Amino acid sequence: MEREQWASKLGFILAAVGSAVGLGNIWRFSYLAGDSGGAAFLIIYVACILLIGLPVLMAEFSVGRKGQSDAIQSYHNSGAGGFWSLGGFLGVLSAFLILSFYGVIAGWIVYFLYSYLTGAAQSVEEGGVGDFFGGFISGTAGPIFWQFLFMAIVIAIVFFGIKKGIEIANKIFMPLLALILVLLAIYSLTLDGAGEAMNFLFAPDWSAFGNFDVYAAAVGQAFFTLSLGMGAMITYASYLGKEEKLSSAAGTIVTFDTLFAIIAGIVIFPIVFTFGIDPSAGPGLIFVSLPEVFNLMGGAGTFVAILFFFLVAVAALTSAISLLEVNVAFLMRKLKWNRKTATLVAGIVVTLFGVPSALSQGGPVTFTIFDNSFLDAIDLLTAEYTLLLGGMITSLFVGWRWKKIDALRETGFGESIFGILWLWFVRVIAPAWILILLIINFYNDFL
């Protein structure tokens, strides 16, 4: 069977941006920034994006484009065996684990969309959104229902292979999301808490730079938000023709993804400070803050809220599709299943594995793993370990296992100064940083 290919380079870039921009930019970025001290986190995060994320993203693109197959087989096709194939396996594992809880958080988004459609959310009195949200996530049927609904849509799209739908989502809804975020940011800047929020987000508390937890959180977020370390970008680049240049594509993706996150921060923190919400409230931060301000806007607020939650749900959808696609492409090749079987099996198993996460936020699943709820534990397992390891292996693989000349040709840099610079980043700088952070994480979590 002939493998599919992107119709154009733009199609590829849009799909890659669609995979990158998602809950990571809005939900995860804000709660981590809030939890890790704001500006110090932001600075370290941007440094991680540039010093580790960008080189690793280009390395993943190179592996996929050269390998022309799913994450694991692409490694083999481009020269990996033995130890190196671990990179591909970690990728498939991470994609599975992440999608399991990604569907839960996306379910929360869809629940708010529904609650604004029915009128339930706008009738919450001022300051009461925290209780409204808490009541929802600590339930049993509720969180599972919305998780299942979201996952059913993801599975249906991958099942029918609706390329067109994804393209429309990326071409129309993503720019709309950008627009509404910018408008909301302008609105947020008029709130009383705006000054305090800008200080929090942009004026660093220098002592935080000595706190290793902040580095660990920042690098994990860099991988999560760029869809790195789990084969998603390898898989997408494998549908790319041999002649396309990779470096400009990587730059575009990194730029858009980072802008989305920073603008989301400018939207959320003024609300947090205006309403006296604790910035380190954790994974619920956007859910307990944003609706407060939507509800202040009167009738227009309902419209804005519906539009906002709809667009974030679509952004989550395009990301979730790419996560499921990693598993589907793997099963199709490995077990010779057709797309439909692979999608149904992978989709159902990953959804069921997400159920304990859905029930761990005040619901019946109360056991903890090293003091973390089930959802947080899976999130940390991936962001602190498997993604980093996967990224480190890809980086070393491209830097050392490939012939230098091949590596440079694949990126399109050639022997230019950028090429040589990039090569030493993937050979030494990125892997060394990742290794240090892995050790720190291990020390913090277990020793």
Does residue 20 interact with Na ion by CB under 5 A? yes
Cα–chain center distance at 387: 11
19 binds, among ligand PHE, Na ion, none (CB under 5 to 8 A by kind): ligand PHE
In the complex with ligand PHE, the residue whose CB is nearer, 358 or 423, is 358
What per-residue string of b and e applies to 206-220 under the rule 16 or more CB within 10 Å gives b? eebeebeebbbbbbb
The distance of closest approach from Cβ of residue 335 to Na ion in the complex, given in angstroms and rounded to an integer, is 30
- Signed CA dihedral, 137, 142, 146, 147: sign only: positive
What CA–CA distance (Å, rounded) separates 159 from 328?
10
The distance of closest approach from Cβ of residue 236 to Na ion in the complex, given in angstroms and rounded to an integer, is 14
In the complex with ligand PHE, the residue whose CB is nearer, 98 or 104, is 98
In the complex with ligand PHE, the residue whose CB is nearer, 292 or 376, is 376
Does residue 25 interact with Na ion by CB under 5 A? yes
The distance of closest approach from Cβ of residue 247 to ligand PHE in the complex, given in angstroms and rounded to an integer, is 20
Does residue 24 interact with Na ion by CB under 5 A? yes
Residue with tokens 């390329």: 163
* Torsion angle of C-alpha atoms 277, 363, 26, 169, degrees rounded to 10: -140
69 binds, among Na ion, ligand PHE, none (CB under 5 to 8 A by kind): none
Binding residues vs ligand PHE (CB under 6 A): 19-20, 22-25, 98, 224-225, 227, 230, 232, 319, 322-323
Residue with tokens 């200080």: 199
* 277 closest CA partner among 400, 256, 269, 364: 269
Does residue 221 interact with Na ion by CB under 5 A? no
The distance of closest approach from Cβ of residue 177 to ligand PHE in the complex, given in angstroms and rounded to an integer, is 12
Does residue 258 interact with Na ion by CB under 5 A? no
Angle at which helix 85-118 crosses helix 299-334, to 10 degrees, equals 150
325 binds, among Na ion, ligand PHE, none (CB under 5 to 8 A by kind): none
378 binds, among ligand PHE, Na ion, none (CB under 5 to 8 A by kind): none
In this structure, the number of other CB atoms found within 10 A of the CB of residue 297 comes to 14
CA distances from 129 to 123, 136, 170, 246, 362 (A): 10, 11, 31, 44, 16
In the complex with Na ion, the residue whose CB is nearer, 24 or 279, is 24
Answer whether 21's CB lies under 8 Å from 258's CB. Answer: no
DSSP designation for 386: I
**Neighbouring-strand partners of residue 372:** 369
The distance of closest approach from Cβ of residue 401 to ligand PHE in the complex, given in angstroms and rounded to an integer, is 24
Does residue 441 interact with Na ion by CB under 5 A? no
Does residue 225 interact with Na ion by CB under 5 A? yes
In the complex with ligand PHE, the residue whose CB is nearer, 198 or 388, is 388
The distance of closest approach from Cβ of residue 230 to Na ion in the complex, given in angstroms and rounded to an integer, is 13
In the bound state, the residue with its beta carbon closest to ligand PHE is 24
98 binds, among Na ion, ligand PHE, none (CB under 5 to 8 A by kind): ligand PHE
The distance of closest approach from Cβ of residue 46 to ligand PHE in the complex, given in angstroms and rounded to an integer, is 15
Q: Could you tell me how many residues of this chain bind Na ion (CB under 5 A)?
A: 5
* Torsion angle of C-alpha atoms 85, 87, 89, 91, degrees rounded to 10: -150
323 binds, among Na ion, ligand PHE, none (CB under 5 to 8 A by kind): ligand PHE
Residue 172: burial class (beta carbons within 10 Å; 0-12, 13-18, 19+): exposed
Question: Which residues of the shown chain bind Na ion in the complex (CB under 5 A)?
Answer: 20, 24-25, 225, 257
